[in-house]
A and B are shown apart, each in its own frame.
Chain A
Amino acid sequence: MSSVRHFFGSIGDTWDGLPPMVRRGIGVVALVLLILLPFAFTAGGSFIDNATRALAYAVMALGLNIVVGFAGLLDLGYVAFYALGAFTIGWFGSSFYAQVNHGKGIHVGVTGVVGTLPGVHMNFLLVLVLAVIVCAIFGVLIGLPTLRLRGDYIAIVTLAFGEIIGRVAINGDSLKPFGYAVTAGRQGITPIDSPDLPGLSEFGPLNLRPWYWMALGMALLVLFVNFRLRDSRLGRAWIAVREDEVAASSMGVPLVRTKLLAYATGAAFGGMAGAFFAAYLNTVNADQFEFSFSIFVLAMIILGGLGSIWGVVLGAIVLSYINTYFIPNTFKSLPHKVGLNFDLTDLSFGIFGFLLVIMMVLRPEGLLPERRRKLELTEGIGTGEAELPLEVTVP
């Protein structure tokens, strides 16, 4: 473990030691390589599929990182925003509401076959914006009741909200507030419109390259926003609230606004990724909005390092690959080799649970730790006596 720590630590130091021009150059080269990457692989192959998923998960993890990593509010109901984002495209980008406008449908900025289908069909970018708005509003709504609470009570309230939204997703086919069902229940909403964007070739199941570029674009945008937010006044306020709420408040940080903005921003990114996933998977399936998904995303940011932006990206990519590639392919035959008879894919969430425990006990700061976080997490651990240092030193 210490060699791993040393390895990543030395990478960070070397990187910081490079002159800015060189760092910028490396960044540009890496970006160009990322953009050109799909041409090295078959257009409908599993590599691009896995890479696209990893990037979309990175968007989601970066969103959760704002709430949990920056602001220190443990959100265990993040799946709610995945669901809301997915349903936004289900509502505004499919033939789900086939009866609207007397069966002729409503079309905004769509062309081709989709433009003639019944139901509400909006351009994918518009849907993304809508998903961001819907999720930000719900982020605030879910955040409001937790404002008075601290620590693990926040976790439970957000978890309860996540579960309620999951329930609504499953039972929504019987909820008809204006004569229109809220969701399609366990049947799921399918098919979902594929994005139709100028300058990109056709989005489809056989050509995954545009999906990859779309996901890459979203990830870069969210990364940029994350960096800018972290170094902004708001980002410093989040970190101050995380470190000590009372101290932050007495220093003039407006707690309500700061926390609600964290919830809203985190939720918005979750919704964006949710809408993308729904379009990519071509379905909004109510059964996928489970608590375990929240934990999957949480495990990504714990693995990478709470609050550390690059760490979170690394964590998302690693866990996504473990989930979509290593567990189904590489490790699948492992139990049979050691003489055990079970299917490793069943165990994926047990593996993530194990990862959470191991990481928290052995390396709570994650693979690529944020410096401040590392200090915070390592002080007082292992001594046992230094549990309440304030009580001891203050007379």
Chain B
Amino acid sequence: MEAASIQARGTRPATLTALQSFASRYGLIIVLAALPVAFAVSDLLGGHGLTHIFQNLKDGVSNGAIWALVAIGYTLVYGIIELINFAHGDVFMIGSFVSFGIWGTLGVTLTTTTLGVAGGLVVAGLIAMVACGALNVMIERVAYRPLRGAPKLAPLITAVGFSFILQNVGLEWLGGSPHGVDDLIRAQHVLFTIGGVHIINADVLAIGVTVPLVLLLVGFVHGSRLGKAMRATAQDPEAARLMGINVDVTISLTFLLGGLMAGAAGLIYALYNTTVWFQQGFEAGLIAFTAAVMGGIGNLQGAVLGGVIIGCIQQISDDRINSTWTPAIVFGYLILIMVFRPQGLLGEETREAG
């Protein structure tokens, strides 16, 4: 059976082989570009110009910055222990809740001065990051480490279990319906306009927090000694252990970094959307996981790229199709990518995808 198919592939005409390699290299990019290009063309044909689609893409990029931060958590953890940290989306949700709670405690409201708001947000952001980092490390310690030698199903199931526990924590914390957040940064306030595209405060916040954090993280992973240990563990845990790397500490560190990013993303999400609720994490988790797979799981830059692309797809779908269908469209992309290009845009072949 297997031999026959290999032979069949060998005897195919050269044009077909060339077509196949073209499809496997650019197919995903074409599929991803289809949605924006289709709407851009229809806008042009309708005589509306490109402002609308640029506006969509701008919203997509700033929204995607949040997904990128969450996706980094998935990709780091998957890169190092090949586990889909299912609870990560809910850690992000807890990040939103913590930052919301902190500025409530600090007494930051709409009437606070600009300086006060800025200070309060910095404090809330830092606390949310630390809280999420600690939470993620705790989850690893309790739910994943005891199962490191077990079949892969086992830690995945505990991950799902923790996801539900955190969702219930969120449910008890702020109740079952979306909870409004004070619009502290006047998110929709237009700061300036480039070529008809309005740049609002929320965009500046999302990009302004994400870019430095991602740069810091990439610098840490590629430059520092601990980052080197992380990369070594990701390549081969056994060999890393033999080289004197404390694998357990390195894995905890990875979860810590992922949690820090999720905490920051939680803060931005709360300010950006001005609502938080306990189910935001489940959907965000799946979207961010899609982003991580799209970029090539285990690849930091890929996660950021995937986050931005998913953000754009989501915005276009929300704006042009119908927001009730957006999850289905994102999941459709997820399935297409998983099936046809599981290594993603920038990734290598993984053992899973093999």
Q: Which A residues fall within an 8 A CB radius of B?
A: 68, 72, 74, 76, 145-146, 148-153, 155-157, 159-161, 163-164, 167-168, 170-171, 254, 291-292, 295, 298, 302, 306, 342, 346-347, 349-350, 352-357, 360-361, 364, 376-377, 380-384, 386-388, 391
Contacts and interface: CB of A to CB of B under 8 A. Distances in A.
Contacts of B342: 148-149, 153
Instruction: Please classify the interface of chain B as helix (H, G, I), strand (E, B), loop, or mixed, using the class held by over half of its residues.
Output: helix
25 contacts: A145-B339, A148-B342, A149-B338, A149-B339, A149-B352, A149-B353, A295-B164, A342-B172, A346-B176, A347-B171, A347-B172, A349-B164, A350-B164, A350-B165, A350-B169, A352-B161, A354-B161, A357-B158, A360-B143, A360-B161, A361-B146, A364-B150, A381-B149, A382-B149, A387-B238
Interface residues of B, number: 53
Interface stretch (B35-43, B63-71, B327-335): B327-335
A152 B85 CA distance: 10
Interface string B314-354: 00000000101101100110110011001000000001111
B332 A164 contact: yes
B172 A381 contact: no
Nearest to B170: A350
Contacts of B149: 380-384, 386-387
Nearest to B332: A164
B84 interface: yes
From B289, B293, B339, residue with most partner A Cβ within 10 Å: B339
Contacts of A388: 238
Given A72-B153, A356-B157, 16 more contacts: A68-B153, A152-B82, A152-B152, A161-B331, A163-B331, A170-B324, A171-B322, A292-B164, A346-B172, A350-B168, A357-B143, A360-B161, A364-B154, A381-B146, A381-B147, A387-B148
Contact of A156 (B146, B334, B354): B334
Nearest to A351: B168
B338 A145 contact: yes
Contact of A164 (B162, B169, B328, B338): B328
B209 interface: no
A74 B152 CA distance: 10
B168 A349 contact: yes
B164 A163 contact: no
A153 B151 contact: no
